[in-house]
Amino acid sequence: MTEYKGRWEAIRGPLIVTAALIALITCIYVLVPHGFWAYFFIGLLLLFIPTAYSGLILKMTMDEKKIVVVRPFTRVTVKFEDVALCAVNCVGDGKYLIFAFVKQRYRGGYTVKGIKPKLPFDEVIKMSLKEECLDLDVNFNRAKKIPVSFVENGEELKDRFLLEVGKHQVKIMEEV
């Protein structure tokens, strides 16, 4: 199992924003008289905490079966055998975000979460391995997001992830 530690430069910004939001909410709650407007502004500030929290990546661990994204209170696990389609978004200089579309159970079979029309899991893998143009309606909000640029050696992690997913897709195609 390989472990990739979170980069301090990537953790520092969301940590400062989260701490500032919590401090501001506490100040409003303690110093401002309780009423509609105080609770309204506290509610508005609470809406920004999940966005800041999603940037706090403590570490990512990877073995031959899965990758685990560890945040302070949650873990997201993506099994390579469940990934049907990957998309890599290059944000800037070596900063990558991987969108992994995973399978989900649907009426006795498996489809791919975030892809329309509801095609079987094996068929989506067949389409992705062909050199043809994929004609799918893709919803990136439903994909599992793996921010590889938030950890040290993110380029290596991205390459290993894509290699492992490719191995499992070829293995699935041999079984079918």
- pLDDT single digits (tens) 7-37: 888 889 889 999 999 999 999 999 999 999 9
pLDDT level of residue 170 (50, 70, 90 thresholds) = confident
pLDDT level of residue 127 (50, 70, 90 thresholds) = confident
- pLDDT single digits (tens) 60-119: 999 989 999 999 889 999 999 888 888 888 877 778 889 998 888 888 788 888 888 787
Predicted model pTM: 0.80
User: CA dist 78 to 65, 67, 98, 102, 133, Å?
Assistant: 9, 5, 11, 8, 26
The pLDDT value recorded for residue 45 is 95
The pLDDT value recorded for residue 133 is 59
The Cα 60–Cα 127 span in angstroms is 29
Rounded mean pLDDT of 149-154? 88
With 0-12 / 13-18 / 19 or more C-beta atoms within 10 angstroms meaning exposed / middle / buried, residue 49 is middle
The Cα 126–Cα 119 span in angstroms is 11
